[in-house]
Structure 1
Amino acid sequence: MPYKFMFAGLILAIGCTTAAAAVAKSDKEFLSDAIKTDNSEIRLGDLATKKGGSDGVRSFAQTLIDDHRRAKDDATALATDLDVKITGIVTTEAQNEIEKLQSLSGPEFDKEFVNYMVSAHEKNISEFGEKAAEGGRPVPELAKKTLPTLQRHLQLAQSLSGH
């Protein structure tokens, strides 16, 4: 009788491990999403350099453009090796934000842009942290290399938002 419980426990443990692995993004999926995120930050940054109401927001936007172009170059180099299609597509969330920001200007634009950057970078740091923790392969190493830049962007956005 105890063997049945041990076997059931083993099946449960295997099932949980499989479910957890299914939730984690594959390297190809992560890299594809990272490129879309870079595209998004570049497009949003470009919009903010033109429409930002303050020097601080415009300067932050230029930092986003410069850093995410470099990050996209790094991701693109890996994408070729992993047969990941490289596109100019932005994330759905970013496209929605771009549409919202196009109707704003001045302090309203700045507030919306900065708040979006705080939440987007918190999400990105979490995802890049999970991938970086996998270690040992090129994509997790790229995530690990990118994390400090994302954390700096979050700090800059938070300083602009007053958090």
Structure 2
Amino acid sequence: MKKISLVAMIALAALSFQACNNAAKDSKETADSVNAVKDTTTNGSTGIAVAEMDAKFATDAANAGMAEVAAGKMALEKATNPQVKEFAGMMVMDHTKANEELMAIAKTKNITLPTAPDEEHQKKAAELEKKSGKEFDKAYVDAMVDGHKKVASMLEDASKNCKDMELMAFATKILPTVKAHLAKIEAIQASMK
């Protein structure tokens, strides 16, 4: 009986230590992990229908799109500059539409997308939430310039390098809109200095 108790305690301790080492993954990390383990060799409903890098592009694009919508909604409530509010409305509308289009493609390709922005974007949103007035406007505009530069680069790469034709077409279609957003937010940023 003592041996069984000792074995049970050792097993419980081992599980506890293992649980401590598994930090909670954010939604994007979880989606990337699920996509990485899907069987890529089957043609049925269990396999992912695209290359691993294409699936990663889809999760990255979904993550960025959700972050843009969330930040845009926050700016609609908190921004004081009318140009910033107008831009935020455009972010919510355009990125919601792009997110829906990407979700439809992902569904047909059996790609798991994140359900919420990743930890990095959530941290930035929390910092933004603490600001108000002109300080909020400036921080939001700076974040949008930075974010749109990164997304434009990601889309440009995907429009040339995706192996899946639908994802490549999606990136090619969305890229001009993101570049237009970048030009508009850079103009707003310049007018605020």
Map of 1:61 onto structure 2: 88
Choose from 141, 145, 159 the match for 1:118: 145
Query: Structure 2 matches for 1:123-142, cutoff 5 A?
Result: 123-134=150-161, 137-142=165-170
Give the gaps of 5 or more residues in structure 2.
1-50
1:79 alignment partner AA: A
Deviation for aligned residue 1:93 = 2.9
Choose from 151, 154, 158 the match for 2:182: 154
Instruction: Confirm whether residue 145 of structure 1 aligns to residue 173 of structure 2.
Output: yes
Choose from 29, 54, 58 the match for 1:31: 58
Comparing 86-95 with 99-108, which one deviates more in the overlay? 86-95
CA RMSD of aligned residues (A): 1.7
1:86-133 Cα deviation digits (max 9, x unpaired)? 443113332121111111011100000000100111011111101101
Contact 1:44 1:94 in 2 (8 A): no
Map of 1:45 onto structure 2: 72
Name the CA distance, whole Å, in 2 between partners of 1:151 and 1:25.
Answer: 26
Give the gaps of 5 or more residues in structure 1.
1-23
Change in 2 beyond 3 A, CA 1:84/1:25: closer
Deviation for aligned residue 1:25 = 6.5
Change in 2 beyond 3 A, CA 1:110/1:81: same
Contact 2:58 2:113 in 1 (8 A): no
1:148 alignment partner AA: P
Task: Quote the sequence identity (%).
Answer: 28
Contact 2:106 2:113 in 1 (8 A): yes
Name the CA distance, whole Å, in 2 between partners of 1:155 and 1:84.
Answer: 31
Query: If the length of structure 2 is used for normalisation, what is the TM-score?
Result: 0.68
Name the CA distance, whole Å, in 2 between partners of 1:32 and 1:101.
Answer: 23
Q: Which is greater in Rg?
A: 2
Query: What secondary structure is seen at the aligned counterpart in 1 of 2:143?
Result: helix
Change in 2 beyond 3 A, CA 1:112/1:79: same
